[in-house]
Amino acid sequence: MPTPGVFIDTNLLLLLVVGSTDKAIIPKHKRLKGYTAEDYDTLLDLLDLFPQVLVTPHTLAETSNLLAQHKDPERARLFGQLRFLIHECEEVAIAGTVASNNSAFPRLGLTDAALLELVAPETPLLTVDWGLFQQAMAIGADAAVNFTDFRELD
């Protein structure tokens, strides 16, 4: 069982990496077109409410692949920041064989199914993905936080 903290999905991990590298890169990254520097600040505020940021190897791999789409010289800086965050976060592994048995696997894929195997009220999921949020809420009302709710408050 991981230490208490919050899991974050790939989109929010991407926002965290890019924003902590340079907020000016956020609108330049094709997967972050709908996000702003204010969204990054909101993400930091939410993460500060938890003792630890939790990630899975699957989420890290997806984030790395999305960062690889960005060109140098920013790309090198983004990967440097990802490396730093990998050391700061707690990585929680779950076997693909376990995640692929999750009922959401055919709809949401391996990365999200792995998150669903791990989230719990003491280790909720912070996500911007509505389908993933709904699946996590089925685990328990305290098992998920919808980031979009906080974006709309600004």
Q: What is the dihedral of CA 75, 15, 41, 154, to 10 degrees?
A: 130
CATH code assigned to 6-151: 3.40.50.1010
Per-residue pLDDT band at 68 (split at 50, 70, 90): very high
Computed over every residue of the chain, the mean pLDDT equals 94
Mean pLDDT of 7-24: 98
DSSP 8-class letter at 102: S
Which 3 state secondary structure label does DSSP give 83?
helix
**Tell me: the pLDDT tens digits for 116-148?**
999 999 999 999 999 999 999 999 889 999 999
**What are the sequence ranges of the domains in the chain?**
6-151
Between 152 and 102, the more confident residue is 102
DSSP 8-class letter at 119: -
Half-sphere exposure (Cβ direction) of 113: Cα atoms closer than 13 Å? 16
Per-residue pLDDT band at 104 (split at 50, 70, 90): very high
Burial state string for 106-120 with b = 16 or more CB within 10 A and e = fewer than 16: eebebbbbbbbbbbb
pLDDT score for 154: 44
Q: CA of 136: how far to CAs of 65, 131, 143, in Å?
A: 24, 9, 6
